[in-house]
Amino acid sequence: MQKTISKRDAIAIFIIAVLAIVVVPCLNAYVPESSAFHISNFSINLWGRYFCYAVVAISVDLLWGYTGLLSLGQCLYFSLGGYMMGMYLMRMIGSLGQYHMPIPDFLVFLGWTRLPVFWKPFSSFPFALMMAVLLPGVLAFVFGFLAFRSRIRGVYFSILTQALTYAATLLFFRNNILMGGNNGFTDFKYMLGYDTRLPSTQRGLYVISGIFLVVVYLGCKWLTTTKLGKVQRAIRDSENRVLFSGYAAANFKLFIFVLASVIAGLAGVLYVPQVGIINPGEMSTQNSLEAIVWVAVGGRGTLVGPIVGAIFVNAFKSWATEAYPDYWPILLGGMFLLVVLFLPRGLVGLTEHCVALVKRARRKTAAPIEAGTKDTPPTAANQIAIK
Amino acid sequence: MSAMRADHILAAEGVNKTFDGFKAISDLNFYMDEGELRTVIGPNGAGKTTFLDLITGRTKPDTGTIRFGAEGLDVTRKNEYEIYRLGIGRKFQTPTVYTDHTVFENLLLSLEGSRGVFATLFSRVTPAQRDRIREILQIIGLSAKEDVKAGSLAHGQKQWLEIGMLLAQNARLLLVDEPAAGMTDEETAKTGELLLSLAGQHSIIVIEHDMVFVRQIATKVTVLHQGHVLCEGTVDQVQSDERVIEVYLGRSKKH
C-alpha cells in the first residue's frame, strides 16, 4: 500500500501548520501593536473563519472531486452544526440579554416566558456538540439513503441537494420553529466560561480551527489511500464497473456523504462563535455554490486544492466586496468561468503545470548542447576525412 | 428443449423482456454446461447485450427464471453486486476500467476480498494478493504496465485488463461482451488464445461479431435472433444453417 504522505510533504505540512497554529497566534498575542510583525485581532478572526471555510471545501471535494457527487447543499450541514452551537451560545447569554430574562431574547419577543423543552439540554456544551454531529449526520444519512438507494445520480442528485437546502432555509426563516427566524442567533457572550468577545478567546478559536483543519486534511489524506478511498474514486470514474465488481456502491456513497456532512457540521460549530452570528442566510444555496467555486478554483480531486481555493477566493472576496461591492457576484462568476474554461485543475493544477514547464525549459536549454555534438552537419574537413 | 441439469452452470428458461413495447428478449431458453466456452452471435438488436444485462441484474426480466450453478439460484431476484458475489463476472462492450487508478489497483479492487464499507477502510494488501495480481498480470500480458494509469493504456490493453479483472474476482462464469471490438488482428488472436486458455476452469459466454474470431475460439455457437435462440451448434453447422443465412443476409424463403 502506498504511503499516506511523502517525507517532503510531511515536512511542508508541519512547517505551515506550526506557522499558522503557533507562530501567528504568538505574533498576535505577544508582539506589540506598533511592531511590523504584529498580527491584528481582525486578521486572526478573519483567518480563523477561512480555516472553517477550508474545512467545508475539503468536505465538498471529498464528495465532488473524489466520489463524483456534486452536492449543492454542503452549507446546509455547515449551518446545522452552526445552529446547534448557536443554541448553546444563546443559552450561555443567560439573563444578560436585552430583556434580562433567563431565556433568549427572540423567545421573549415571541411571547415566551419559559424555555421550550427542546432548548433545555442545550445549556450543556457536550450535548450541543453531540447534536452538531448527529443532526447533520442523521439528515445526510436519511437523504443519502433514499437518494442512493433510488440510484439518483449526476445532475438529479445535485438538484435534489439544492432543493433540500432551499427547503431547510425556508424552514429556518420561520419564527414558529423557535430557531430565531430570519435574525437567527447573535449577541453571544460566553462559551465554556470564556468571553467570546475577547481577543484571547478568538485567538483560541483560531488555533482550534487551525488544528481542526490539519486533522481533517490528514484524516482525508489517509482515507484516500485506503481501499475505501480507491473504491470512492472508482465510483467516480465508473460506477457500473464498481457495481459489477461486487461493491454496494450506494453504501460507499452514503458513508462518504455522511462523513462529509459531519465534517461540515463541525466546521460550522467553530465558525459561529468566530463570526458571532448564525442565521438562515448562511444556509442559502448561494453559499453552497460558493463552496463549489472554492473547490473548482483551488483544484478538485486534490486535498490541498480546496484549502487554497477557500482561502484565495475568500481573501479575494474580502478585498472585492470592499473595493467593488456591486461587482462581487460578477467577479465570482467570472472567476468560475475562467477556471472551468482554462484551468480545469484549478490553482493546484496551474502550479503543477508551471513546474512542469520550468522543468521542460531547463531540459531544453540543456539539450541543444548534446544535440549539437550529434547532429553537426559534416564539415568539409570531416567529409575529406571520410573520403 | 432440455430441462436444467445439475451440471448446468446457467439455465435461462422462458425469459421475456419488453422495452416500451419492443420485445428485446422473447421466450428465451438457454442452457450452458460448467466449464464451457460458448459464443453468442446474432444480428444487431438480437438481444445479446440485453441477455447479459438480465444475467447480471442490470435489468429484470418480465417473466422467466435464470438459474445459476448447481444450487440453481435464480439471479433475476438479485441485484448487481449480489450476483457478482455469486461468481458471475462481466466485461462490458466498451472497455470499462478505472481510468484514474493504476493497472495494479484496478486488479486489486477486483480481487476477491473485502467488499464492505468498513472492511475496505482497514484492509491492507497481503503478499498473497500481491502474488495473485502479478500472476494475473502475466496472464493478460500487462506485467510491464503494473504502475501505469489504466486510462493511458491502449484500447486492446484496456480490454485485457478488464478480462484480468474478471480473473481477479475468480468468477465461475465470465460474460464477455465483444472482446475483439476495435482490436488489431494480432490483438484479436491474442485475446482468443487468452479466452481459450481460461475455458475449463471458468465457464465463459462470449458475445462477438467478428466471425474470424468466433471461428478461432468457438466450440459451440448460439445464434440469437429477435430475442430468442435461433439455433445452436458448431461454427460450421451454424454458418450453413438456412435460417441463420436468412437472418444475416436478409433472404426470405418466400421469394
Rounded to a whole number of angstroms, the distance between the first and last alpha carbons of chain A is 61
pTM over 0.90: no
Q: Over 90: is that where the pLDDT of B235 sits?
A: no
Q: d(Cα A260, Cα A78) in Å, to the nearest integer?
A: 10
C-alpha cell, A72 = 449543492
Q: d(Cα B114, Cα B117) in Å, to the nearest integer?
A: 9
Q: d(Cα B179, Cα A243) in Å, to the nearest integer?
A: 20
Q: What is the 3-state secondary structure (H, E, C) of A97-161?
A: CCCCCCCCHHHHHCCCCCCCHHHHHHHCHHHHHHHHHHHHHHHHHHHHHHHHHCCCCHHHHHHHH
Inter-chain touch A241–B98, beta carbons under 8 Å: yes
Average pLDDT score, chain B: 87
**Which domain does B32 fall in, by range?**
8-95+170-249
Chain B residues in contact with A233 by the CB 8 A cut-off are: 98, 100-101
What was the pLDDT predicted at B250? 66
> Which of helix, strand or coil describes residue B175?
strand
What was the pLDDT predicted at A377? 42
State the residue for C-alpha cell 430468442.
B228
What was the pLDDT predicted at A382? 42
Question: How many residues belong to chain B?
Answer: 255
What was the pLDDT predicted at B182? 81
CA-only gyration radius of chain B, Å? 19
Higher pLDDT, A262 or B236: A262
**Closest Cβ–Cβ partner in B100, B123, B169 for A245:** B169
CA-only gyration radius of chain A, Å? 26
Percent of chain A's residues with pLDDT above 70: 93
Chain B residues in contact with A2 by the CB 8 A cut-off are: none
Residues of B with CB under 8 A from a CB of A: 56, 80-81, 84-85, 89-90, 92, 96-101, 105, 108-110, 114-117, 120-125, 165, 169
Chain A interface mutation, best of B96, B107, B108, highest count of A Cβ atoms under 10 Å: B96
The structural domain count of chain B equals: 1
What's the farthest any 2 CA atoms get from each other in chain A?
113
What was the pLDDT predicted at A262? 97
Angle at B51 (CA atoms; ends B47, B56), nearest 5 degrees: 150
Q: d(Cα B72, Cα B12) in Å, to the nearest integer?
A: 11
State the residue for C-alpha cell 478568538.
A202
> Which of helix, strand or coil describes residue B123?
coil
Q: Over 60: is that where the pLDDT of A208 sits?
A: yes
Q: How confident is the model at residue A371 (pLDDT cuts 50, 70, 90)?
A: very low
Q: d(Cα B174, Cα B141) in Å, to the nearest integer?
A: 19
State mean pLDDT over B89-95. Answer: 87
Inter-chain touch B121–A227, beta carbons under 8 Å: yes
Q: Over 80: is that where the pLDDT of A223 sits?
A: yes
Reference B153, options B190, B195, B111, B100; nearest CA is: B100
User: Does a structural domain hold residue A197?
Assistant: yes
Q: d(Cα A61, Cα A220) in Å, to the nearest integer?
A: 10
What was the pLDDT predicted at A132? 96
Q: d(Cα A67, Cα B100) in Å, to the nearest integer?
A: 12
What was the pLDDT predicted at A3? 62
Q: Over 90: is that where the pLDDT of A128 sits?
A: yes
User: Does a structural domain hold residue A169?
Assistant: yes
The structural domain count of chain A equals: 1
Residue in chain A lying closest to B151 (CA): A237
Q: d(Cα B19, Cα B14) in Å, to the nearest integer?
A: 17
Q: d(Cα A336, Cα A289) in Å, to the nearest integer?
A: 10
Which tens digit of pLDDT belongs to each residue from A61-77? 999 999 999 999 999 99
**How buried is A50 (Cβ within 10 angstroms: 0-12 exposed, 13-18 middle, 19+ buried)?**
buried
C-alpha cell, A159 = 438538484
Which amino acid would we find at residue B77? R
CB B214 within 8 A of CB B221: yes
ipTM: 0.85
Inter-chain touch A246–B105, beta carbons under 8 Å: no
State mean pLDDT over A351-366. Answer: 85
User: Does a structural domain hold residue A100?
Assistant: yes
User: Does a structural domain hold residue B156?
Assistant: no
Q: Over 70: is that where the pLDDT of B255 sits?
A: no
Inter-chain touch A228–B121, beta carbons under 8 Å: yes
User: Does a structural domain hold residue A342?
Assistant: no
Inter-chain touch B109–A248, beta carbons under 8 Å: no
Q: d(Cα B101, Cα B114) in Å, to the nearest integer?
A: 18
CB pairs < 8 Å spanning A and B:
74
The H-or-E segment that residue B168 falls in is: helix B155-168
Q: How far is CA A114 from CA A99, A107, A179, A189, in A?
A: 13, 9, 15, 21
What was the pLDDT predicted at A64? 95
CB A230 within 8 A of CB B124: no
CB B110 within 8 A of CB B169: yes
Which tens digit of pLDDT belongs to each residue from A301-328? 999 999 999 999 999 998 998 888 899 8
**Which domain does A13 fall in, by range?**
7-285
Q: How confident is the model at residue A385 (pLDDT cuts 50, 70, 90)?
A: very low
Q: d(Cα A83, Cα B254) in Å, to the nearest integer?
A: 79
What was the pLDDT predicted at A376? 41
Q: Domain with B35 in it: what CATH number?
A: 3.40.50.300
User: Does a structural domain hold residue B121?
Assistant: no
Chain B interface mutation, best of A226, A233, A244, A253, highest count of B Cβ atoms under 10 Å: A244
Which tens digit of pLDDT belongs to each residue from A1-23? 456 678 888 899 999 999 999 99
Reference B92, options B15, B2, B207, B210; nearest CA is: B207
Beta pairing class for B37-41 and B220-225:
parallel
State the residue for C-alpha cell 539539450.
A367
Which tens digit of pLDDT belongs to each residue from A85-117? 999 999 999 888 888 888 898 998 888 889 999
Chain B residues in contact with A240 by the CB 8 A cut-off are: 92, 96
Inter-chain touch B81–A241, beta carbons under 8 Å: no
State mean pLDDT over A228-240. Answer: 93
What was the pLDDT predicted at B5? 63
State mean pLDDT over A123-149. Answer: 96
Q: d(Cα B175, Cα B48) in Å, to the nearest integer?
A: 11
Q: d(Cα A264, Cα A270) in Å, to the nearest integer?
A: 10
User: Does a structural domain hold residue A268?
Assistant: yes
User: Does a structural domain hold residue B110?
Assistant: no
Which tens digit of pLDDT belongs to each residue from B121-180? 888 888 999 999 999 999 888 999 999 999 999 888 998 999 899 888 888 899 999 888
CB B100 within 8 A of CB A233: yes
Chain A residues in contact with B122 by the CB 8 A cut-off are: 226
What was the pLDDT predicted at A97? 86
Residue in chain A lying closest to B81 (CA): A246
What was the pLDDT predicted at A368? 55
What was the pLDDT predicted at A303? 93
What was the pLDDT predicted at A66? 95
- Helix, strand, coil tally for chain A in percent (to 5): 75, 0, 20
User: Does a structural domain hold residue B73?
Assistant: yes
Angle at B248 (CA atoms; ends B242, B253), nearest 5 degrees: 45
CB B164 within 8 A of CB B137: yes
Inter-chain touch A244–B90, beta carbons under 8 Å: yes
Can you spell out the DSSP letters for A289-329? Answer: HHHHHHHHHH-TTSSHHHHHHHHHHHHHHHHHHHH-GGGHH
Measure the CA dihedral A316/A322/A327/A328, to 10°.
40
Chain A residues in contact with B89 by the CB 8 A cut-off are: 244
C-alpha cell, B171 = 468468477
Beta bridge partners of B31: B11
Average pLDDT score, chain A: 89
**Closest Cβ–Cβ partner in A226, A236, A246 for B115:** A246
